[in-house]
């Protein structure tokens, strides 16, 4: 009998341990979430590149004010999934982000109206607020710019300078000349236009922005429809990318973002389409070697076209958080965009250009290049991709582009995915 | 002892039962409820009725992925079981090193599906580019056969172990008697061994059929559904509906698809169980 009791109590202890193991982390979170009277902040960060800097900034704020700030960064490409899981929990994020109006669709019911906040007052222009039905749901916190980053030294070795490239035709001539002499020069014109998930957004989203932008410029915007007026230009630039790169177009589907970065940083290619956020990846070439060109697609008058500038990262505050946590979050944000520590962290360490009144100038040289274009009177291309109907639309265009590059599909499939896909997706997502 | 078990059984059942309720029954009931709702996070759902099911059935990619999955399940089940049985027959002969080979064949099972998927993606892509054919992400047929090869490679070892156990339990006297009666080895296999291992066949068929229908990791890693959803299986289709669509209505549709998916797998595996059970013989 004694033995039985021993066995029973052992079993009981084991069960207790099992449950304790499950229970502890959850309880821990709750203490942090609601325990303190002055609230706390939980930021679910979107950009893995800046995780370290956000952690440091959170620590600095806690030291200064005593308010707990927790920063968690979602793995690349997993933000929506992580956010969905975290929002369902008890200690949900008080601060999160959405990517423009399409992203807001998902989260509108969770967003606190920021219209009366001090943070909103700091914005330099209402263009950077994400509004819907008169309420301010999101505040853009970073303005980014993309174009074709190029290696100045290599371009010179090929016998050209930036001044030789003023429109699509001159760009094409330079690119094709480099390709013709690539074995003698030892480098290719473009980095691989990888269509792996880590890189395909550069083409199915960022490059696709140009034909959409020009269509909106010349023909205006119709809800739920795109005509595809400039798709031939899209084809021209895509052909240029895939036929003058470091790899055979048939192999693009397996090429990753890292492949393109290493080709560019390794001096194997002159041109690399990406934006200001990629500075850390390419800075090994030296600041003096980095230049940026507008993406010309052969539209009339494009000589005065600048880089593509805009934002798709909007801060949102969780409406369902407790009142003191909302207040703590708003105070934290205000501190980030207005205090000395906050603004220098944003500008110097994260390299962000922020649309706030007291924002500092960013130290990122690619940002400086972008500013020079604006100073020279070039007209920036807006980011129109937040108007794209859905992620699914982008994937459809991406698949068609990959198939076209590999020769298993034709350009008509891209046009279908672009034009018809837009209509179908818009209908599907706006049915209710 | 028996008395003690009779008296204390609730205590012994309790831990498993609690875990089963927390980990299975509750989420299942909640999932069923959510399939009738529109929601973004599970604690904020609004009832919409049968609309999700209507839209799930109207979704062509869902229908396509069902047929793709069915085609995959049939071919994979047949191939895996025939090959696993053949390997098991070979390795139950008294060959030198058969224990070593059993271990080797079983090993692919110890690697996770995602890792396997990426490794095979690299292998198959290299092969395809050597042959000058379009890569996996561009060719649905290549993706299909890639999945079959990958699943055979992974599952044959596991099924082989089950078949070996079955074959070893066939009494030697029966086989000897068959030989004495003049049965050829081929006949002994069909008339004695296979009927005797029918229970193993039932288990293996059940496992391969349900595994093929529920396949997710390998599909996600190997092809990701490319090109344009044409190598997308049911589980991945549900996942994509749920996670890569923006807008609250999609979560409910994904959930409805998951319920349909559950019913499909249950019905198909029950039919298969009944069909093979009836062929089992008592020893």
Whole-angstrom Cα distance, residue B123 to residue B130? 11
Residue-wise DSSP of B102-135: HHHHHGGGGS-HHHHHHHHHHHHHHHHHHTTPPP
Half-sphere exposure of A338 (CA within 13 A, CB side): 13
Instruction: Give the mutation candidate from A80, A250, A430 for the B interface (greatest B CB count, under 10 A).
Output: A250
- Taking an 8 Å cut-off on Cβ atoms, the answer to whether B246 and A254 are in contact is no
- Taking an 8 Å cut-off on Cβ atoms, the answer to whether B246 and A84 are in contact is no
B212/chain A closest Cα distance in angstroms: 25
CB environment B186-202: b (16+ within 10 A), e (fewer) = eebeeebbbebbbbbbb
Q: Which residues of B touch A392 (CB under 8 A)?
A: 244-245
Whole-angstrom Cα distance, residue A23 to residue A12? 16
Judged by DSSP in three states, B215 sits in coil
For residue B230, the surrounding DSSP H or E stretch is none
Tokens of A367: 């940002």
Q: A428 vs A204, A343, A419, B50, CA distance in Å?
A: 20, 41, 15, 17
Are A99 and A312 in contact by the 8 Å Cβ rule? The answer is yes
Q: What percent of chain A has pLDDT over 70?
A: 91
In this prediction, residue A353 carries a pLDDT of: 82
CB environment B229-242: b (16+ within 10 A), e (fewer) = bbbbbbbbbbbbbb
- Taking an 8 Å cut-off on Cβ atoms, the answer to whether B129 and A107 are in contact is no
Q: How confident is the model at residue A431 (pLDDT cuts 50, 70, 90)?
A: low
Tokens of A158: 């090929």
Q: Which residues of B touch A84 (CB under 8 A)?
A: 40-41, 243
Tell which wins on pLDDT, A101 or A265: A265
Laid out side by side, the sheet with A68-73 consists of A68-73, A40-45, A95-98, A314-317, A135-140, A129-132
pLDDT in tens, A370-410: 888 888 888 888 888 878 888 788 888 988 888 888 888 88
CATH number for the domain running over A146-307+376-429:
3.40.190.10
B113/chain A closest Cα distance in angstroms: 19
Ranges of each domain in chain B: 66-277
Average pLDDT taken over every residue of chain A: 83
B259/chain A closest Cα distance in angstroms: 20
Fold of A36-143+311-357: D-Maltodextrin-Binding Protein; domain 2 (3.40.190)
Q: B106 vs A339, B28, B110, B151, B264, CA distance in Å?
A: 61, 33, 8, 13, 30
User: Nearest Cα to A421, choosing from A401, A379, A392, A383?
Assistant: A392
The single-letter DSSP state of residue B192 is I
In this prediction, residue A35 carries a pLDDT of: 44
Instruction: Give the mutation candidate from B1, B5, B21, B247 for the A interface (greatest A CB count, under 10 A).
Output: B247
Per-residue three-class SS string for A286-335? CHHHEEEECCCCCCCCHHHEEEEEECCCEEEEECCCCHHHHHHHHHHHHH
The single-letter DSSP state of residue B183 is -
Tokens of B181: 């009666």
pLDDT in tens, A17-28: 555 544 444 334
**Mean pLDDT across the stretch A260-281?**
87
| Chain centroid offset of residue A150 CA | 20
Tokens of B73: 């399940």
Are A90 and A26 in contact by the 8 Å Cβ rule? The answer is yes
Question: Which CATH class, in words, describes the domain spanning B66-277?
Answer: mainly alpha
**Mean pLDDT across the stretch A290-318?**
87
Model-level ipTM above the cut of 0.90: no
Residue B135 has its nearest CB partner, among A80, A106, A253, at A253
B111/chain A closest Cα distance in angstroms: 23
B112/chain A closest Cα distance in angstroms: 20
Judged by DSSP in three states, B139 sits in coil
Unique residue bearing structure tokens 């397996």: A254
| Pairing between β-strand A269-275 and β-strand A144-151 as defined by DSSP bridges | antiparallel
Unique residue bearing structure tokens 């009791």: A5
Q: Which residues of B touch A403 (CB under 8 A)?
A: 138, 227-228
Ranges of each domain in chain A: 36-143+311-357, 146-307+376-429
Residues of chain A in Cβ contact (below 8 Å) with chain B: 4, 8, 11, 15, 18, 80-81, 84, 87-88, 102-103, 105-107, 109-110, 195, 197, 250-251, 253-254, 390-392, 395-396, 399-400, 402-403, 406-409, 417, 429, 431-432
Whole-angstrom Cα distance, residue B77 to residue B70? 10
Are A88 and A111 in contact by the 8 Å Cβ rule? The answer is no
**Mean pLDDT across the stretch A273-286?**
84
């Amino acid at each position: 009998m004694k033995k039985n009791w021993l066995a029973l109590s052992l079993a009981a202890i084991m069960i207790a341990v099992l449950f304790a193991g499950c229970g502890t982390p959850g309880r821990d979170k709750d203490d942090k979430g609601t325990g303190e009277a002055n609230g706390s902040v939980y930021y679910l960060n979107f950009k893995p590149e800046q995780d370290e800097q956000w952690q440091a900034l959170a620590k600095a704020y806690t030291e200064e004010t005593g308010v707990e700030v927790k920063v968690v960064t979602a793995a690349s490409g997993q933000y929506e999934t992580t956010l969905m899981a975290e929002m369902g929990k008890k200690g949900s994020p008080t601060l999160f982000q959405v990517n423009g109006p399409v992203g807001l669709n998902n989260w509108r019911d969770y967003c606190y109206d920021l219209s009366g906040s001090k943070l909103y007052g700091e914005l330099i222009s209402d263009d950077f607020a994400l509004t819907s039905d008169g309420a301010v749901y999101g505040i853009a916190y970073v303005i980014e710019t993309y174009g074709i980053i190029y290696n100045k030294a290599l371009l010179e070795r090929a016998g050209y300078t930036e001044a030789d490239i003023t429109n699509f035709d001159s760009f094409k001539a330079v690119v094709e000349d480099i390709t013709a002499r690539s074995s003698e020069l030892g480098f290719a014109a473009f980095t691989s236009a990888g269509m792996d998930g880590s890189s395909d957004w550069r083409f199915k989203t960022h490059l696709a922005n140009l034909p959409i932008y020009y269509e909106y410029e010349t023909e205006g915007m119709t809800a739920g429809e795109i005509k595809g007026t400039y798709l031939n230009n899209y084809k021209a630039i895509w052909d240029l990318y895939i036929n003058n790169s470091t790899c055979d177009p048939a192999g693009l589907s397996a090429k990753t973002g890292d492949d393109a970065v290493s080709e560019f940083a390794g001096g194997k290619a002159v041109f690399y389409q990406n934006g200001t956020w990629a500075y850390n990846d390419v800075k090994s070439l030296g600041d003096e070697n980095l230049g940026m060109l507008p993406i010309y697609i052969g539209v009339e008058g494009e000589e005065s076209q600048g880089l593509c500038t805009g934002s798709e990262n909007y801060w949102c505050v969780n409406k369902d958080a407790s009142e003191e946590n909302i207040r703590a979050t708003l105070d934290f944000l205000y501190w980030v965009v207005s205090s000395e520590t906050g603004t220098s962290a944003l500008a110097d360490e994260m390299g962000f250009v922020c649309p706030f009144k007291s924002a500092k100038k960013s130290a990122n040289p690619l940002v400086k290049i972008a500013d020079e274009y604006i100073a020279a009177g070039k007209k920036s291309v807006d980011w129109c991709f937040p108007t794209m109907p859905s992620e699914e639309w982008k994937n459809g265009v991406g698949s068609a582009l990959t198939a076209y590059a590999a020769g298993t599909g034709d350009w008509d499939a891209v046009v279908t995915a672009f034009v018809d896909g837009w209509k179908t997706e818009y209908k599907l997502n706006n049915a209710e | 002892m028996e008395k003690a078990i009779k008296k204390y059984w609730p205590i012994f059942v309790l831990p498993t039962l609690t875990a089963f309720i927390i980990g299975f029954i509750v989420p299942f009931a909640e999932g069923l409820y959510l399939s009738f709702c529109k929601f973004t996070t599970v604690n904020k759902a609004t009832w919409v009725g049968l609309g999700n099911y209507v839209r799930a059935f109207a979704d062509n990619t869902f229908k396509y992925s069902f047929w793709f999955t069915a085609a995959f399940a049939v071919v994979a089940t047949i191939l895996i079981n025939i090959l696993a049985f053949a390997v098991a027959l070979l390795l139950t002969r008294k060959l030198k090193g058969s224990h070593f080979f059993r271990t080797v064949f079983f090993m692919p099972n110890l690697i996770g599906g995602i890792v396997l998927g990426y490794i095979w993606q690299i292998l198959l892509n290299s092969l395809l580019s050597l042959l000058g054919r379009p890569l996996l992400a561009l060719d649905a047929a290549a993706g299909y056969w890639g999945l079959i090869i990958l699943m055979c490679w992974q599952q044959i070892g596991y099924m082989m172990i089950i078949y070996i156990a079955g074959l070893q339990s066939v009494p030697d006297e029966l086989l000897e008697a068959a030989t004495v009666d003049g049965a050829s080895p081929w006949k002994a296999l069909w008339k004695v061994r296979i009927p005797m291992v029918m229970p193993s066949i039932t288990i293996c068929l059940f496992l391969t059929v349900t595994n093929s229908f529920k396949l997710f990791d390998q599909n996600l890693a190997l092809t990701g559904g490319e090109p344009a959803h044409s190598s997308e299986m049911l589980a991945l289709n549900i996942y994509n509906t749920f996670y890569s669509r923006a807008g609250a209505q999609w979560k409910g549709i994904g959930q409805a698809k998951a319920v349909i998916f559950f019913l499909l797998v249950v019905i198909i595996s029950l039919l298969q169980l009944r069909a093979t059970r009836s062929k089992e013989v008592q020893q």
